[in-house]
Amino acid sequence: MKPLLVTKGLARHFGGLKAVDGVDFSLMPGEIRAVIGPNGAGKTTFVSLICGRIRPTAGSIVFDGADITNLPAHRRVRLGIAYTFQITSIFPDLTVYDNVALPVQRRLEAKGGGTLRAGVMEALERTGLADRAYALAGQLAYGHQRLLEVAMGLALEPRLLILDEPTQGLSDGEIEGFAALVREIAQSATVMLIEHNMPLVMQLAHRITVLNAGRMLAEGTPEEIRANAAVQEAYLGGVEEPAA
């Protein structure tokens, strides 16, 4: 099986700051991959490079065998890359339904198949927001706004869904539901997750990539990352085992 996503020597410099500094990375289809690291490690910059929000200083990005390094973000969306932002980016004055209708309409125009309402309600049901379909998005609790962003990403039927700090503001019960949702998504898509909730990461990820100061510090299974002394020193400290 060939990787879905590969980066080689990927770098982004802001003046003298090397936010991402020569990262070689590969992601297999159907994988749940967590990207972790201390604040300022370059995680959000790294995924912003992948989704096309910013251009690299050096290096390449290949998605499904095609070089997308210089493609604009909207072209990457059409190829199947969807991204939820670390800072909520919903349309607060539109209803929850209408927020999701926008990406569904984009997908139907590009691919066809299904109806607008069916696409919207499926995404809302998967994220537990169907009963809030006609509420104004700006009136949702912050955690539900985060779930609305996930629904907007799912509405595109992506091949790669990138989630940047998706559990911020979620209750413990909602986080459990989110974990189940990610596992379900991974049956038909690849998931890349930036997350500070380490028990969730250890429970959910097939593999973990650790960034530190813009470089890859380590990569491996949750067990390998937990046992890695360099990771312990740079980031993890004492990570408690997730509850059974």
Q: Are 6 and 65 in the same domain?
A: yes
- What pTM value is reported for the model? 0.89
Amino acid identity for residue 110 in this structure = A
Judge whether 180 lies within some domain. Answer: no
Based on the structure, what is the number of domains in the chain? 2
Q: Are 34 and 101 in the same domain?
A: no
Percentage, residues of the chain above pLDDT 90: 81
Judge whether 168 lies within some domain. Answer: no
pLDDT at 207: 98
Residue ranges of the chain with pLDDT lower than 50? 238-244
Q: Are 55 and 89 in the same domain?
A: no
Judge whether 179 lies within some domain. Answer: no
Judge whether 170 lies within some domain. Answer: no
Contact yes or no for 98/91 (Cβ under 8 A)? yes
- C-alpha pair distances (Å), 42 with each of 20, 47, 59, 80, 232: 6, 9, 15, 23, 18
Among 111, 134, 157, where does a domain finish?
Answer: 157
pLDDT at 46: 97
Which residues span the domain enclosing 197?
A: 1-79+190-244
Q: Are 109 and 151 in the same domain?
A: yes
Q: Are 69 and 24 in the same domain?
A: yes
pLDDT, tens only, 126-168: 999 999 999 999 999 988 998 999 999 999 999 999 999 888 8
Judge whether 33 lies within some domain. Answer: yes
Q: Are 69 and 88 in the same domain?
A: no
Contact yes or no for 194/165 (Cβ under 8 A)? yes
Judge whether 176 lies within some domain. Answer: no
Judge whether 28 lies within some domain. Answer: yes
Q: Are 87 and 31 in the same domain?
A: no
Q: Are 93 and 70 in the same domain?
A: no
pLDDT, tens only, 37-58: 998 999 999 999 999 999 999 9
Q: Are 5 and 53 in the same domain?
A: yes
Judge whether 165 lies within some domain. Answer: no
